[in-house]
Amino acid sequence: MKTLLLIRHGQSEADLLDVHEGRADFPLTALGRSQAEAMARWVAERWRLDAIFASTLRRAAETAELLSAAAGCPITWDGELMEFDNGPLAGLTRAEADERYPLIPDLPPDRSAYGQETMLHFRQRADEALAHCLERTGRTAAIVSHGGMISQLCASLLGLAPAAPVGVRTGDTGVHCWQVSEGRRALLFANRQEHLLSMEAQNPLQI
């Protein structure tokens, strides 16, 4: 039996600017670092991690580094855990993106618009990253990533099709806990954020 924690990064500067993030590489805000520090203490008090896998984008990397320091566990960097590749939308305000790259509805999962990643490839990245993490995990591991990737990882764990109309919402430093054994995958809890209760401000859920 293996325990797998899926953890979203803290608040990033893109959240304050209200821009499309995706592959835009923004760091954490001061609040985001405080959120990540609170999450790291909470996790370290409850689990003994033997592995941390993290996206290389700055907001996730900074979150993972704080978790590593609190848990005394090294990080394995994995570019496959990066957020959805949103191509030219990265860093644009939502108004700019709506004007220059209007939404194209009902795209099949193997097709993309404006040079973005296809949903099929996004899911394949999640499948491969998940398999890699489980292979290298002893008993308990954490994956520090992004809202979209965490949703894809959960879909992979549930065995959902890439185009399934199901998503998992994750707030800043939200933690999901899975138990995985041969032939069985069980979700113990989703998007826990009680480590933020003592903080003055919390952010709305984000995907």
Q: What is the pLDDT of residue 183?
A: 83
Q: What is the pLDDT of residue 167?
A: 86
Please list the pLDDT of the chain residue by residue as tens digits (207 residues).
999 999 999 999 999 998 999 999 999 999 999 999 999 999 999 999 999 999 999 999 999 999 999 999 999 999 999 999 999 999 999 999 999 999 998 899 999 999 999 999 999 999 999 999 999 999 999 999 999 999 999 999 999 988 788 889 999 999 999 999 988 999 999 999 999 997 754 445 443
* Distance, CA of 195 to CA of 175 (rounded, Å): 10
Q: What is the pLDDT of residue 200?
A: 58
Q: What is the pLDDT of residue 205?
A: 47
Catalytic machinery residues? 9, 83
CB burial class (10 A; 0-12, 13-18, 19+) of residue 197? exposed
Q: What is the pLDDT of residue 199?
A: 75
| Tokens describing residue 164 | 């399934």
Count of C-beta atoms within a 10 Å radius of residue 38: 21
Cα distances (angstroms) measured from residue 151 to each of 24, 38, 42, 50, 98: 19, 23, 22, 23, 24
* Distance, CA of 9 to CA of 64 (rounded, Å): 8
| Domains defined along the chain, listed by start | 2-196 (3.40.50.1240)
Cα distances (angstroms) measured from residue 10 to each of 64, 183, 196: 10, 33, 11
